[in-house]
Each structure stands twice: as structure tokens, then as C-alpha cells.
Amino acid sequence: MASTSFIREINADQFQTEVLDAELAIVDFYSDECPPCEVLATKFEPLSELYGPKVKFIKIFRQKNRELATALGVTGSPTLLFYKNGKPVGEKLAGGILRSRIIKNLDSLLPAEEVKAIHGKIQQKDTEADVLIIGGGPAGLTAGIYLAQAHLKTIIVDTALPGGYVATTHQVSNFPGFIAPLNGYMLSHQMTEQAKANGVEFRAAVELDEVDIETKSVRVDGFETIQAKKMILATGSKPKELGVPGEREYQGHGISYCATCDAKYYNDKDVVVIGGGNSAVEESLFIAKFARSVTIIHRSSHLRANKEAIAQVHAEPKIRLLLDHEVTEIKKYAAYDMGVVIRNNQGDVTEEVKTHGVFIFIGFIPNTEHFCECLRTDKWGYIEADNQMRTNVPGVYSAGDVNAKLYRQITTAVSDGTIAAISITKEIS
């Protein structure tokens, strides 16, 4: 069936007539050379076929319409805005935007019977691939590059934007091939583009509805089932939570797990870092570039990081250590007004450290919640793979930080991805 796009590109002069005078409109502010904008484009077009012409699908090039974007509070690309009879409605969506979030906002603009009719038109899609990779970090991307170069149809599915953890690392200085330290985002961007250039297909910022390891298939975004001959699990790991009152409540609202993403918001402010390993120590040094003070709270009597980083922490006058203390609660009174309740290790003294914001770096747990219990894991839940990256489930491989192993680095993830891909290539041919 020929595709009928209802998308219209406009500039700021046409905003009044095309958006504000329309009954219903969705507006995509996009930019050039913007990977998340490309990801959104793969969702915007099919949705325009479903919801258009009832809803006007509008695109505005942000770089050339900055004044309008700024006036509307649009500070990044892509940003999606929804309008009903000239008034902004619904959520302002930005970054790696999920299809379901767009649908939810579009549905809220329409009467229930129209929504039902539109949903009835959504066609189910079956896709076949040689290899399905779950997770597009360094491990998954490297595997993808090798597999695509071996002419195997490879699809990478990622619940976020591809790139993995590296994308949030401010500087990488130990990945071979680059004399000067490079920005983590750029490294992951280059890996992603290399995978694309070699022919890897992506399903990015998708919702994973179902993963069947044994049949090597997944269902994404409620309408596409992808079935493959082989599968690689490369979902990495995520930061551990402290599990104290207040943590869940204030995540993203004063509590962060990513210094690269959020340290910039603490210019000249007082920050608490919880943890005492490599991440806590290295990220504290980074946060100290912005903050007025950084207090590292750690439950043990000494830091467990590499010696060089510990020496740097001791030499940094902005950083103070509060060792032998356990955090029992995180409180928030107002924006940039928080309290971290701590107890000494004897358990007899409780006090509250006042702070503008809290960063938590206490370790990681593997992203395996979508996978069945049929996978063999170590006692921490990391997947056990053999030296060819084969798991105990036939045809299913695993690579990178999700694996049980001693060292978790970009180079070791890239190595696992390489081994998995070469093993699969040999097996398939």
C-alpha cells in the first residue's frame, strides 16, 4: 500500500494559520544532525498516516525558527507539542520519545469512538532477521557492525536511544585510537552511525512488550514482532538504588544517578554524593568542577576507588568526606533545598546534611528483568556466558556489562560483542 503522509513542514510565519488556527495539531521541532530526531521521524510518519488528517502533523526546523521555539519554551530537539483550538495541551515530549506517549497524547485530543476506529487500523507487522540484538550499547553495536559486515540481517532493539552508558560519560580517555580524551556521547554516536552505515537496522526508544528467549523473538511498541535465528542479549546494567525513603519520590527532582547529565545544574551549589567506589569518586571530581562543595557520604571507613582518583579527591578542596555513615532518608523541602539523613555506624547518632542536590553512585545491577529465568546467571543476576558468549539457551548469546565477569569497561563490552558476532557468523554459515 502506498504511504500517505500528512506531514507538513512550516516556518514561524505560518505558525498562526497552520497550528493555532487548526482544530488539532502536533508540532515536531527538529534539527539537523540530531539522532533522536531521526528516531522520532520513524514514528512520526506512520502516526501521521493513522491520525491525519484529523490531527495536523507539523514539522518546524528549530535552527531556522529559533525565536518561535524559544517563545514556546522549546530548548532542544526533538520536542513535540500538542495543540487544540490554538491552545497548548497535553505533555511536552522531548529526547528519546516513546510511540506510546505520542499515541496517548493524540488520543486525548479525540473522542473515544474515533480513537477506537484509529486503533482498529493499526496493522500488526512480522519481521524476520538473522540476528536480533537486545541493547544498543558498545557491546550490541560492535556485534551489529561485525554481523552486518558478514551480510547477516541484524536488528538492534533498544528501549532508549542507542549508544548505551558511554553516551552519559563525560570523558573517555582509555578507549584505544584517540590520543586526547573524547566525549562519551561522541564515541557512542560514532559507534551507532558506524553500525547504521554498515546496514544494521534499529528499533530505538521502543517499548519491549514481550521477549521470548527460547523462540528468539520480541514484540515491540504493540505492533511489531521480530523473529530471529540468533539472539544477543546486550542490555548492560543500571545504577543500584539505595532503597531509602524519599529516593524514588525525588528521582529526577533533586536526586540523580548521572553526573554528566545533571552536574551542570549545580553551578556554585552544595552537593551530596552517596557512595565510595570508582564511580562515586570519579564523578565527585567531575561534579566539583561545577559545585561549590561536594560531600561524599560513604558507609565504610575508606574509599574503594583507584589510588589516583582517591589522591585527586584528597587534593580537591571543594570535596569533603563523611565516612562511616549510612543514609537512612532523603528529604526535599523545595527546589534545591534537600536534606540527607545519616546515621553513624554505631547507630547512635543521626543527623541531617543540608544540600542542594543528591547524586547516588553505589554500584550497578544487570538489566535482565525482561528475560526469563531459563537463563543461567551468577548470584547477582549477571548472565553466565562461555568463552564464545553462548548462554545456556541454544542460539542465545550475551555480551557486555550484562555478563558475569570481572571487569566492565567499553573495551571489554566491545570485545564480548565481537566474539558473539564472530561465533554467530561461523555458526550460521
Ligand X SMILES: Cc1cc2nc3c(=O)[nH]c(=O)nc-3n(C[C@H](O)[C@H](O)[C@H](O)COP(=O)(O)OP(=O)(O)OC[C@H]3O[C@@H](n4cnc5c(N)ncnc54)[C@H](O)[C@@H]3O)c2cc1C
Active site residues: 258, 261-262
Instruction: Look at the chain and count its residues.
Output: 429
In the shown chain, the binding pattern of residues 6 to 45 toward ligand X, with x for contact by CB under 6 A and - for none, equals: ----------------------------------------
What whole-number distance in Å separates Cα of residue 179 and Cα of residue 379? 39
Find the shortest distance in angstroms from Cβ 286 to ligand X.
9
Task: Report whether 305 contacts 328 (CB < 8 A).
Answer: no
Considering only residues 200 through 219, tell me which ones interact with ligand X, judged by CB under 6 A. Answer: 208
* CB contact at 8 A, 274 and 359: yes
Residue 26 or 139 with smaller CB distance to ligand X: 139
- Interacting residue with ligand X among 106, 139, 255, 313 (CB under 6 A): 139
Minimum CB–partner distance for residue 207 and ligand X (Å): 9
CB of 24 or CB of 213, closer to ligand X: 213
276 near ligand X, rule: CB under 6 A? no
Closest distance of CB 324 from ligand X, Å: 25
Q: How far is the CB of 370 from ligand X (least distance, A)?
A: 4
Phi and psi based region of residue 411 (left: phi greater than 0; alpha: psi -120 to 50; beta: remaining): alpha
Nearer to ligand X, 11 or 174 (CB): 174
Which position among 35, 78, 90, 140 is part of the footprint of ligand X (CB under 6 A)?
A: 140
From candidates 130, 221, 326, 401, binder to ligand X by CB under 6 A: 401
138 belongs to the binding site for ligand X (CB under 6 A): yes
Nearest approach in angstroms of CB 17 to ligand X is 40
User: Is residue 235 a contact residue for ligand X (CB under 6 A)?
Assistant: yes
d(CA 173, CA 152): 33
Please identify which residue in 136, 276, 366, 395 interacts with ligand X, judged by CB under 6 A. Answer: 136
Q: What residues form DSSP beta bridges with 273?
A: 296, 359
Q: Is 359 in the site for ligand X (CB under 6 A)?
A: no
Nearest CB to ligand X, comparing residues 158 and 262: 158
Is the CB of 59 or the CB of 203 nearer to ligand X? 203
Binding mask 364-393 for ligand X (x = CB under 6 A): ---x--x-----------------------
Among 134, 309, 319, 385, binds ligand X (CB under 6 A): 134
118 near ligand X (CB under 6 A)? no
How many residues bind ligand X (CB under 6 A)? The answer is 33
In sign, the C-alpha dihedral spanning 107, 110, 111, 114 is: negative
Cβ proximity to ligand X, 107 vs 384, nearer residue: 384
Instruction: Please say which residue, 256 or 367, places its beta carbon nearer to ligand X.
Output: 367
Restricted to residues 144-203, the positions that interact with ligand X (CB under 6 A) are 157-160, 162, 164-166, 169, 172, 174
What's the maximum distance between 2 C-alpha atoms anywhere in the chain? 72
Q: Does 413 bind ligand X (CB under 6 A)?
A: yes
Q: x/- contact string, 67-106, with ligand X (CB under 6 A)? A: ----------------------------------------
Identify the residue among 58, 410, 419, 420 touching ligand X (CB under 6 A): 410
Stretch that binds ligand X, among 77-85, 145-153, 244-252, 410-418 (CB under 6 A): 410-418
3-state secondary structure the chain: CCCCCCEEEECHHHHHHHHHCCCEEEEEEECCCCHHHHHHHHHHHHHHHHHCCCCEEEEEEHHHCHHHHHHCCCCCCCEEEEEECCEEEEEEEECCCCHHHHHHHHHCCCCHHHHHHHHHCCCCEEEEEEEEEECCCHHHHHHHHHHHHCCCCEEEECCCCCCHHHHHCCCECCCCCCCCCECHHHHHHHHHHHHHHCCCEEECCCCEEEEECCCCEEEECCCEEEEEEEEEECCCEEECCCCCCCHHHHECCCEECCHHHHHHHHCCCEEEEECCEHHHHHHHHHHCCCCCEEEEECCCCCCECCHHHHHHHHHCCCEEEECCEEEEEEEEEECCEEEEEEEECCCCCEEEEEECEEEECCCEEECCCCCCCCCCECCCCCECCCCCCECCCCCEEECHHHECCCCCCHHHHHHHHHHHHHHHHHHHC
- Closest to ligand X by CB, 60 vs 231, is 231
User: Are the beta carbons of 217 and 205 closer than 8 angstroms?
Assistant: no
Q: CB-side exposure of 10: number of CA atoms within 13 Å?
A: 21
Stretch that binds ligand X, among 45-53, 247-255, 302-310, 406-414 (CB under 6 A): 406-414
Nearest to ligand X of 174, 392 (CB atom) = 174
Which positions touch ligand X (CB under 6 A)? 134-140, 157-160, 162, 164-166, 169, 172, 174, 208, 234-236, 279, 283, 367, 370, 400-401, 408-411, 413
